[in-house]
A and B are shown apart, each in its own frame.
Chain A
Amino acid sequence: MISPAVFTHVVKKLPLGICILDTDFTIRYFNDFFISRLTLNAPAIGSNILDLFPEQARFLKKKLTSAVVLNNSSFSYWEHRPHIFQFNSSRPITGEETLMYQNLEIVPLDIEDDQVKTLCLILQDVTEQASYLQSQKQLAAQLETQYHEQAALLKQLKTTQAQLLHADKMASIGQLAAGMAHEINNPLGFINSNLQSLNDYLNTLVKALTFSEKLIQKTEDSALHRLQQDYFSRAKITFITEDAPELLHESLDGIRRVSRIIQNLKIFSHVDDTHWQLCDLRDIIDSTLTMLSNDLRHNVTLHIEYADDLPLLQCQPIQLNQVLLHILNNAVQAISQKGDIWIQVTVQAEQLHVTIRDNGCGIAPAVLPKVFEPFFTTKAVGQGSGLGLSMAYNVIKQHQGHISLSSEQGQGTTITLDLPLQPKLPVADVDRLTHER
């Protein structure tokens, strides 16, 4: 039989905090675990535990009362309440934590007639487990963040790949267009000059015919005169002399149109051109509109308003062409049935103020903040590169200008450009410009 003294000794030495309390929370017993960690002047036995730990009095009172009233153990877990008693960490040298992590259990000890008479408070040092679990949690959170970052990156990569493919396709088309423009330009040149010559020749021929007709009339030889009349009437010479110049005129006009298209094709296939020069913005807008004329013809009514005496603008015309093309293209695509596009250019304080407004579908508010982001597009993959407006933004920045967009869903979109007439050019460009002059 083991004597009660042995049990007392065991409890004293337990690696758990043991504290026995009355139902009025007076401390009856503390084991060594508590005693060695408490820095008290007055003896703890006999004092009220709520006075001894005033910071935790509210919590302790609640838990102790619950155990007394319900005759049921109550618990506290370190994750919710890590340091009930402000004891120093059990790992003062190697541990990162400064305070001990604790689990607490309050057990009704002596019960008489269903009434709790004493309570036992059991405190467990769980610093080791808590530290471990916390570092695991940190690690898990870190891994999760990394996982999400990688997933986002992967998605971005896939989009970028699709966009690059699209950009590549566009570059190929550009190259093809440049090649075609070059190839068509040569025959176009000689067709044009031949037609001009042919026009001259025709004029001469018509004159010669009129002359010969007059000559025959002067001879007063009626037989000859009749022969000539008969021949002219059978060969429909009168009609031919009237119609031929018209045909030639039409053909020359056609050639001029083809030349202009080829010229634009050449311009747009040289999108890398960053040449600075003084330009009339109206010309740039007009050439862009020519490029889009096919799309504009069917369902869009254009309203163009230029201020009188627009000054010349120091700019990269090819780049501005591209900007306008993207903006106008978006405007055209926003109009599904019939609509209007308004283009207005005014001068305000040494700046050209350009407004391009459409009454198309507009942009959803959620999308609005992203429109200038590179690779952002609402068009289907392969339909738009998502580079149009971001490129426009960069070009306008290079011109030390400002681009802004406002839109209302279902009402339309307005883009405004402010372009300083004389932007400060980068040094390299200034050198080139003076050299060229």
Chain B
Amino acid sequence: MNALLSEAQRDALQELMNISMGQAANALARLIETRITLSIPRIVAATPSEFAALLSQHEENWFTRQSFMGKVNGEALTQLTKEGCEALAVAMDYDVPLSDASRKELVLELANILAGACLTGFSEQLDLATKLSMPTLYVPTVNSGEQVVEYFRWTSTLLLEVEFSVDASLFDSKVIICLEQRSVQTLLASINELLE
């Protein structure tokens, strides 16, 4: 299924992600002084329909998106459970109860921290400097179905998926780093260098 990657490439990338995500989780844990659990990163090549399916649960979740540009380009999507965000408000030094504006601010800040940590770790390990732009809230309008293929301008993308959860709270989130098609080649070249 991972036609874009060979087995060896995937293993190497997986190892790199494990290290960098661990660092990201540590940094975040230090900031909010809470223990954070993270999943084993999932690396998968996705078609537009598979990608759209990831965005289908926008009733229970917030979605944010932010682009990154540099040696590799793409977008980082962050999915955060609506209930869980509220639980972190106090830890993030927000006044509760949250106003509508401060709730969005909190969501974007959390998303930026998680996506930033993931991307920094990943790009430093592979020496692929890239810069993350300002996050915005994203309300996906495409559902799975036939129009999905026409909606997106690409046919295949590489997704790096990591899940974060905070112990003893409902907070649950997922960062998906989506690489542009050309950047996948850049990434592969970097991995190949490491493998040689």
Cβ < 8 Å to A, chain B residues 125-139: 131-132, 134-136
Q: How many A-B residue pairs have CB under 8 A?
A: 53
A80 and B31 contacting across the interface, CB-CB below 8 Å: no
A70 touches B116 (CB 8 A): yes
Distance of B180 from chain A, by nearest CB (Å): 20
Q: Scoring A residues 75 to 115 as 1 if CB is less than 8 Å from chain B, else 0, what string do you get?
A: 11101110000000000000000000001010000000000
B120 near A71 (CB under 8 angstroms)? yes
State in angstroms the CA–CA spacing of A75 and B66 once bound together: 11
Q: How far is the CB of A108 from chain B (nearest CB, A)?
A: 9
Asked if A139 is an interface residue, CB under 8 A from chain B, the answer is no
Assembled-state Cα–Cα distance A79/B28 (Å): 25
CA distance in complex: A233, B60 (Å): 101
Contact yes or no, A66 B31, CB < 8 A: yes
Shortest CB-to-CB span from A248 to chain B, Å, is: 83
Tell whether, in the assembled complex, residue A79 and residue B104 are in contact, meaning their CB atoms are under 8 Å apart: yes
Consensus secondary structure, chain B interface: helix
* 1/0 contact string of B88-119 vs chain A (CB within 8 Å): 00001100000001101100110011001100
Q: Is the CB of B30 within 8 A of A69?
A: yes
Which residues of chain B come closer than 8 Å to A77, judged between CB atoms? 105, 108, 134, 136
Are A69 and B27 in contact, CB atoms less than 8 angstroms apart?
A: yes
Set of chain B residues within 8 Å of A105, measured between Cβ atoms: 134
Q: Chain B nearest CB: distance from A34 CB in Å?
A: 20
Give the complex CA separation of A240 and B93 in angstroms. Answer: 109
| B31 in contact with A65 (CB, 8 Å) | yes
Per-position 1/0 for A252-277, Cβ under 8 A of B: 00000000000000000000000000
Known A-B contacts A69-B27, A69-B30; the reply to A62 vs B93 at CB < 8 A is yes
Asked, given contacts A66-B31, A70-B27, whether A79 binds B132 with beta carbons under 8 Å apart, the answer is no
A79–B104 Cα distance when bound, in Å, is: 9
Task: Answer yes or no: A47 CB below 8 A from chain B CBs.
Answer: no
A76 to B134, CA, bound (A): 8
A80–B104 CB distance below 8 A: yes
Q: Which residues of A contact B102 (CB under 8 A)?
A: 80
Is residue A73 within 8 Å, beta carbon to beta carbon, of the partner chain? yes
A70 and B117 alpha carbons, distance in the complex (Å) = 7
Task: Tell me if B101 and A80 are in contact (CB < 8 A).
Answer: yes
B135 engages A75 (CB within 8 Å): yes
User: Measured between C-beta atoms, what is the minimum distance from A358 to chain B in Å?
Assistant: 47
A79 touches B101 (CB 8 A): yes
- Cβ contacts under 8 Å, B27 to chain A: 69-72
Is residue A297 contacting chain B, with contact meaning CB distance below 8 A?
Answer: no
Answer yes or no: A435 CB below 8 A from chain B CBs.
no
Q: Which residue of A lies closest to B109 (CB)?
A: A74
User: Which residues of chain A from 216 to 249 have any CB-CB distance to chain B below 8 Å in the complex?
Assistant: none
Question: Of A80, A103, A105, which is in contact with the most chain B CB atoms at under 10 Å from its CB?
Answer: A80
Contact call B105/A73, Cβ cutoff below 8 A: no
Contacts of B131 in A (CB 8 A): 73
Q: Of all chain A residues, which has the CB nearest B136?
A: A77
Asked if A58 is an interface residue, CB under 8 A from chain B, the answer is yes
**Complex CA distance for A144 and B30, rounded to whole angstroms:** 46
Q: Determine the residue in chain A with the shortest Cβ distance to B92.
A: A62
Give A66 to B135 CA distance when docked, in angstroms.
Answer: 15
Per the 8 Å Cβ criterion, residues 324-376 of A in contact with B are none
For residue B108, give the distance in angstroms from its CB to the closest CB of chain A: 7
Q: Which residues of A contact B101 (CB under 8 A)?
A: 79-81
> Which residues of chain B have C-beta atoms less than 8 A from A81's C-beta?
101, 105
The answer for the CA separation of A232 and B140 in the assembled complex, in Å, is 106
Also in contact, A73 and B93, with CB within 8 A (given A79-B104, A80-B104, A80-B105): no
Whether B104 pairs with A72 at a CB distance below 8 angstroms is no
Query: Are A73 and B30 closer than 8 Å at their CB atoms?
Result: no
- B117 → chain A closest CB, angstroms: 6
Contact residues of B between 72 and 96, Cβ < 8 Å to A: 92-93
Structural contact, B117 and A72, CB atoms closer than 8 A: yes
Q: Who on chain B is nearest to A67 by CB?
A: B116
- B116 / chain A contacts, CB cutoff of 8 Å: 70, 72-73
- Contact A70:B28 (CB < 8 A) given known A75-B134, A77-B134, A103-B134: yes
Q: How close is A318's CB to chain B, nearest CB, in angstroms?
A: 59
- Of all chain A residues, the one with the shortest Cβ separation from B135 is A75
Give B contacts to A, CB under 8 Å: 27-28, 30-31, 92-93, 101-102, 104-105, 108-109, 112-113, 116-117, 120, 131-132, 134-136
**10 closest Cβ contacts across the A-B interface?**
A72-B116, A80-B105, A75-B134, A80-B101, A70-B27, A69-B31, A62-B93, A80-B104, A72-B120, A75-B112
Report 6 cross-chain contacts, Cβ distance below 8 Å, ordered by A residue. Answer: A72-B132, A73-B131, A73-B132, A74-B112, A77-B108, A77-B136
| Further contacts, 12 of them, CB under 8 A, given A58-B93, A75-B109 | A62-B92, A66-B109, A71-B27, A72-B27, A72-B112, A72-B117, A75-B134, A76-B105, A80-B104, A80-B108, A81-B105, A103-B134
